[in-house]
Structure 1
């Protein structure tokens, strides 16, 4: 009985096992198919659109060449201010201080020396009965600007002058004498900036001894231009200045000196140069720079009403022959031989058959 029951049972289990194997094979086959499909899809090359070349239009206009020269950016008009009287130094300003008209420059014997504006230096004391002169008018102009002189400034030292001096002395805490001793005021072209001290508190000052080093409050560029380039520098001419950090600004030539011999630190010899001074059209462009080496671009050659393209558009065709790749109306390009002229500002003057303003040329990009 046992053998009869066990005999039929074995084929049934074998059938189940075969069925399971078939199902497993189907599953494996299906997975394999899916894997194969996914691989084929990801491996299929993707069509790419052709990249259009970078182009620029041919331009018509003025090209200006330039000659470069190294320059030094610093505050203008550096010079010393000396004591006009003898005494012990009792007060000095801090370097970097800006001093305006009517303010104290330094003190000797605890009495300040004041800054006034004017082109004439003070060469005598101011007091009643003095001879007429342009220095009197200059004094009155300062007293008027400070609010102490009520009349029209002239060359005569009058009661108005004396009254104005007295009012000024009272306002500044000085002894009210109505006169000004020599050395008590210093005339300068404008406000000054203290760059260094030439004396120390407690020193014995003497007339003519430097007390402080000052500059103007504006910055300028000094250039030693090569003698061969002297024709490029003319007073009133415009230049461009390359500042540190890649910034560029405009400047105006304010003075052109006479040739000077300058020692060459490299060769040990001497070379003739032309000292040129340039003022910044926009003083704020120099920012916080107090001193720096800059490059000054002096305009040289000028080409007017010419065609030009970026220098990068030039192609070397053969030997010394250059050309450009012109874009046709149908989108294709054609190489056209050109004659080059002035190179300036990253552009080059060109001429050639079929070249017109507005046509685009290929400019290879990196």
Structure 2
């Protein structure tokens, strides 16, 4: 907001203390004397220390309060990926590698374990004579996407399926058996990122032992709300995010978990986990993992009058007031009711208070 160029020297200001949400805010402003129309008392002596002030207009609009909580930015869907086959780990990608459909996740006994797309995990080998099922259709969809299957994918393992497997095996340097053993392909909904290498080349691993930790390619924010603030966690609501380096962006709540009990420094508390998707994923480019700040909207008032909190004064006898700058260079202290405090502003109302009137604030 742009302050007016006119400087005024209003009356000495009393300290203002208030509680807004979870934060206690303090304003201590001092000023010099100026003859003003003042219903609350005479102006101070001219010998008092003087300080320059400026004016800003009262604004009408929407005021939103927030509850600020810590959060963690990281790649989504991070989990250990157990091997489906046993043997010696002979190859593993570097941490940070991205694996697409048909790519190798790691190798056991010098045979790769491949990533295919799909929500259904593999639970049996793919071979001639197997029963029909959605896993067969899912396999054929991947073989078609890779260019090895020409027919319309269905749930039947037939000659076309076997031929497509053999063509894929030939292209990837495998033995051309027309069969895929259980554990040699891993189905995941999206491409994966190697988040961490869990075993070293040369290690013996058995089925169920994690060779790598994987994640999705998209970053998300995890935060925890206090039980008393759980109403702020609503799927679809937008939040404000502050990333490292002062980067400001927004996110949308995508999931709200059930309340869970956690212990911190010997104290137990119940929290509600919240997952947030970045509205602009590019805002987190170059950040692997970081602590962030999340502002959850807690209360919104529309069509209200507000001023910077610095404009609010304590008045004799209790209550609040603002100094209205008049056209003749004087000021008038007007009593107001203070409402919502949010974003460095405060909602005000009272007789004679309207949008566009200039109020006195400390000159920046």
Instruction: Please state which band the TM-score falls in when normalised by the shorter chain.
Output: 0.7 to 0.9
Alpha-carbon shift at residue 263 of structure 1 (Å): 0.4
| Matches of 1:232 and 1:50, distance apart in 2 | 42
Q: Deviations over 1:282-312 (max 9, x none)?
A: 1111232222221211111111111111112
> SS of 2:56's equivalent?
strand
The list of structure 1 runs, each at least 4 consecutive aligned residues, that deviate by more than 3 angstroms after superposition, is 49-53, 329-332
Q: Deviations over 1:187-222 (max 9, x none)?
A: 112121112212111112211111111111111111
Match of 1:111 in 2: 111
Match of 2:323 in 1: 325
Greater helix share, 1 or 2?
1
| Matches of 2:281 and 2:356, distance apart in 1 | 38
Match of 1:36 in 2: none
Residue ranges of structure 1 left out of the alignment (5+ in a row): 1-48
Cα gap change, 1:153 to 1:331, in 2 (>3 Å): farther
Matched, 1:347 2:335: no
Radius of gyration: which is bigger?
Answer: 1
Matched, 1:215 2:215: yes
| Matches of 1:164 and 1:59, distance apart in 2 | 68
Match of 2:124 in 1: 124
Q: How does 1:153-164 map to 2 (within 5 A)?
A: 153-164=153-164
**TM-score relative to the length of structure 2:** 0.82
| Matches of 1:331 and 1:356, distance apart in 2 | 19
Matched, 1:144 2:144: yes
Tell me the matched-pair count.
316
Match of 1:199 in 2: 199
Q: Deviations over 1:49-84 (max 9, x none)?
A: 984643222111111111111111111111111111
| Matches of 2:71 and 2:318, distance apart in 1 | 36
| Matches of 1:117 and 1:56, distance apart in 2 | 58
Match of 2:257 in 1: 257
**TM-score relative to the length of structure 1:** 0.82
Indicate the RMSD between aligned Cα atoms, in angstroms: 1.8
Match of 1:75 in 2: 75
| Matches of 1:234 and 1:165, distance apart in 2 | 46
Residue ranges of structure 2 left out of the alignment (5+ in a row): 9-52
Alpha-carbon shift at residue 330 of structure 1 (Å): 4.1
Cα gap change, 1:291 to 1:304, in 2 (>3 Å): same
| Matches of 2:65 and 2:6, distance apart in 1 | 38
> SS of 1:277's equivalent?
strand
Alpha-carbon shift at residue 335 of structure 1 (Å): 2.0
| Matches of 2:338 and 2:115, distance apart in 1 | 59
